[in-house]
Amino acid sequence: MDTRTPAPESSPWLPFESRRRARDEKREAVLRTAVQLFLEQGYHRATLNEVADRLNITKPALYNYFRSKEDILFECWVMGQERVEDRISEIESAHENGLATLRMLVHAYAATMASDFGASLVRFNVADLSEPNQKITLAGKRRIDRAFRNAIKQGIADHSIKPCDVKLTAFAILGALNWIGHWYKPGGELSPDQIADDFAIRLTADIAKRPDKKPSEKKATKPVRKRSTR
């Protein structure tokens, strides 16, 4: 006999929802721990036992949430990819001119690279993924690449960006950005947002039609925030 008042909030599928949420939270906790360990030690040197240890559980418990170690790796990558793609969508739907769009992309991507899941986009080895997952990651990388190239192309078309080789320009910019995932360590002199601000100008200075002021020499003046990251 159910003695609870059947208030709208306590409808039969609400407990189910909250339980699902708890499960998702645990899933994400696993990913957060795993991505850190993978970044610290590399995917292969990191063991599932150690992931489990850090979560105060045991290895087989992980298999309630993931099918395999590779699955965990892939999901880490997905987390980073989703963040980036969400921001890209936002930025593109703002319909600014090419240069402004490019700078927002640089800013967003730079900030993401300074996070664990963001770094996982470039620090992990595609060869460690299953064949189908490799395809997915490759498609994702292409979408990011295309976003940058489109912004550059559009900028050339709308005359906010000087004519340039789109492909190489995108490579150069993305390279500088991806590298952040390798050198950034929390607690340095610059916050992710400061780095993002700087790079948004720095990496577009040479192709901008009306050259902006370059980032100040010694971060003396705070660069203009184009947009908050979150």
Partner DNA sequence: ACTTTTTATTACCCTTGGGTAATATACGCA
Partner DNA sequence: TGCGTATATTACCCAAGGGTAATAAAAAGT
List residues near DNA by CB under 7 A.
2, 12-13, 15-16, 18-20, 22-23, 26, 45-49, 52, 56-61, 63-64, 68-70
CA-based Rg of the chain, rounded to a whole angstrom?
21
DSSP per-residue letters across 86-103 = HHHHHHHTT---HHHHHH
Minimum distance from residue 122 beta carbon to DNA (Å):
21
Distance CA 35, CA 29 (A): 10
C-alpha pair distances (Å), 45 with each of 37, 89, 102: 9, 36, 37
Nearer to DNA, 45 or 213 (CB): 45
The interface partner of residue 215, options being a second copy, DNA, none and the CB cut-off 5 to 8 Å by kind, is a second copy
Residue 121 beta carbon to a second copy: minimum distance, rounded to whole angstroms: 12
The span from the CA of 70 to the CA of 67, in Å, is 8
- Residue 54 near residue 37 (C-beta atoms within 8 A): yes
Which of DNA, a second copy, none interacts with 89 (beta carbon under 5 to 8 A by kind)?
none
The count of chain residues that interact with a second copy, using the rule CB under 8 A, is 42
Q: For residues 113 and 71, give the distance between their C-alpha atoms in angstroms, rounded to a whole number.
A: 22
Q: Which does 198 bind (CB under 5 to 8 A by kind): a second copy, DNA, none?
A: a second copy
Tokens representing 118 are 């963001």
Which of 56, 127, 185, 187 lies at the binding interface for a second copy (CB under 8 A)?
A: 127
CA pair distance 178, 180, nearest whole angstrom? 5
Applying CB under 8 A, does 217 fall inside the site for a second copy? yes
Interacting partner of 164 out of DNA, a second copy, none (Cβ under 5 to 8 A depending on kind)? a second copy
Of 34, 72, 114, 180, the one binding a second copy (CB under 8 A) is: 180
Report the candidate in 81, 114, 122 with the shortest Cα–Cα distance to residue 229. 114
Sheet strands (E) in the chain: none
- Confirm or reject binding of residue 179 to a second copy (CB under 8 A): yes
Kindly state the smallest distance separating residue 125's Cβ from DNA, in Å.
Answer: 14
Q: How far is the CB of 13 from a second copy (least distance, A)?
A: 27
